[in-house]
Structure 1
Amino acid sequence: MTLTRFMTEHMPHAVPAKGNISISTFANSASQIQLFDSNNMSRQAIRRHIRQERNSITQDEQQQLALIASRHLLAEIQRLNAKRVALYLTHDGELATNKIIDALWQQGVETYLPVVHPFSPGNLLFLKYDKQTEMVENQYGIGEPKLDASKVMPVNHLDVIVTPLVAFDASGNRMGMGGGYYDRTLAQVVENQPLAVGFAHDCQQVSKLPVEYWDIPLPLIITPTRRFSSIG
């Protein structure tokens, strides 16, 4: 079964991705989105507000939005012909990735999950993830593969890293939970290898994020209704 067929059969409500402009829309509803005015707000205040907004989405809405956004993201992965994709497991109202993982498994695309590095504070390792993977819970209450050095994949050997985020703006700036894990990971990326892709609800976009020297903008962000890209 191809990814295209999987998306058609399992994600019937999604709208096909299109366009190579900086900001393209997948649905007319994109024009109705009102951005949260984050000007003159602290990072902590923005993070608190957006997390509340994200967690206020009902379970039914979460499922529908995740199906739609997943189709767009799978289209990008297919376009890139990616063979090794790192994702995350849903936590704290994030867009669910389970349908994406299922589709990639069916196609034989290797999937990886982040693991908090046991010896290098603030850093991540990426371990192979499949149906037989033994999972443990890390200090943040998030499931991750049990550490096994034989299953670690170096960042520069991945094709795509799908990154969680709390907030973003139209320039591709990303705000995470504040631990800096993905900032340190993205600092290892050279010439978009691997390609870092943000995956977020539309309500997570703000007017402008305050940027620190360590922040690295994302070249591509996918939401249920839009595609933000600096790579075409």
Structure 2
Amino acid sequence: MLLFHGNISYSGSDVQVNVFFEKLHKLSVFAQANPVMCYVSTPKEANTIELINEILARNKKVAVPKVGSGFSMDFYLISDLCELSTGKYGLQEPMGKSDTLYTIPCERSPQNPQLIIVPGVEFDVNKNRKGHGCGYYDRYFHRYGAHNFYKIGLAKDCQIKDAIEVRPHDVAMDLIITESGRII
């Protein structure tokens, strides 16, 4: 399947999207999370475009990232993928209107988990993640406290390694879901 949004096409299979959603849907943290914080995928990442549509169709809120100056990043609530436009690094981002800025509650609780679906270039069996090298997500987690998030990495099977290099500031995932349905 080839998906189009704006001027960017996204490749991914219906099977991949269905597997991700099926595995997410079974997690109690997903059932309780509202909003679900989720990256907007590029063609080289595990596809989240249809996943976001599935989440929105379940009447859940979705918050997606927008990068700012000085390597900052914030999340904004969207109700439709049409609210995205091409931003920094060619990424699809929300318009960033102040009334849609998602404010993180002080602490994660069982009643209101801060579920965040995180991109990565590589992951390992110890749930470590290698991002694109700019540190946006690691800085975001340190800014709000990594322990306040339930962090899920979505990965293509070829992105899972036995071990990857980890630096002191890198934040590990709580769970990784692969396109074949493997949960790490």
TM-score over 0.5 (shorter chain): yes
User: How far apart are 1:109 and its partner, in Å?
Assistant: 0.9
Q: Indicate whether 1:88 and 2:88 are aligned.
A: no
User: How far apart are 1:202 and its partner, in Å?
Assistant: 1.4
Matched residue, 1:103: 54
> Does the C-alpha gap of structure 1 residues 147 and 66 become closer, same or farther in structure 2, counting only changes over 3 Å?
same
Aligned length: 167
Matched residue, 2:77: 128
> Does the C-alpha gap of structure 1 residues 168 and 122 become closer, same or farther in structure 2, counting only changes over 3 Å?
same
User: How far apart are 1:141 and its partner, in Å?
Assistant: 0.7
> Does the C-alpha gap of structure 1 residues 88 and 106 become closer, same or farther in structure 2, counting only changes over 3 Å?
same
TM-score normalised by L of structure 1: 0.65
Residue ranges of structure 2 left out of the alignment (5+ in a row): 1-10, 107-112
> Does the C-alpha gap of structure 1 residues 116 and 202 become closer, same or farther in structure 2, counting only changes over 3 Å?
same
User: How far apart are 1:161 and its partner, in Å?
Assistant: 0.8
User: How far apart are 1:86 and its partner, in Å?
Assistant: 0.9
Matched residue, 2:6: none
User: How far apart are 1:191 and its partner, in Å?
Assistant: 6.8
User: How far apart are 1:187 and its partner, in Å?
Assistant: 1.7
Matched residue, 1:140: 89
TM-score normalised by L of structure 2: 0.80
Q: Which one of 16, 22, 26 corresponds to residue 65 of structure 1?
A: 16
User: How far apart are 1:67 and its partner, in Å?
Assistant: 2.2
CA contact (8 A) 1:164 1:199 kept: yes
Aligned residue identity for 2:52: I
Identical aligned residues as a percent:
25
Q: Spell out, residue by residue over 1:136-190, the C-alpha distance to the aligned partner (whole angstroms, 9 max, x if none).
A: 2112111111121111112447721100101011111100000100111122454
Runs of 4+ residues over 3 Å off in structure 1: 77-80, 155-158, 188-192
Matched residue, 1:218: 173
Between the aligned partners of 2:170 and 2:100, the Cα distance in structure 1 is 29
Matched residue, 1:227: 183
Q: Which one has the largest radius of gyration?
A: 1
Between the aligned partners of 2:13 and 2:39, the Cα distance in structure 1 is 16
Secondary structure of 2:50's aligned partner: helix
Matched residue, 1:207: 162
- Name the one with the larger strand percent: 2
Between the aligned partners of 2:36 and 2:73, the Cα distance in structure 1 is 15
Between the aligned partners of 2:53 and 2:31, the Cα distance in structure 1 is 18
Residue ranges of structure 1 left out of the alignment (5+ in a row): 1-58
Q: Which one of 138, 160, 163 corresponds to residue 115 of structure 2?
A: 160
> Does the C-alpha gap of structure 1 residues 198 and 161 become closer, same or farther in structure 2, counting only changes over 3 Å?
same
Between the aligned partners of 1:193 and 1:105, the Cα distance in structure 2 is 23
Q: Which one of 173, 198, 203 corresponds to residue 153 of structure 2?
A: 198
Between the aligned partners of 2:66 and 2:28, the Cα distance in structure 1 is 22
Matched residue, 1:39: none
Matched residue, 2:8: none
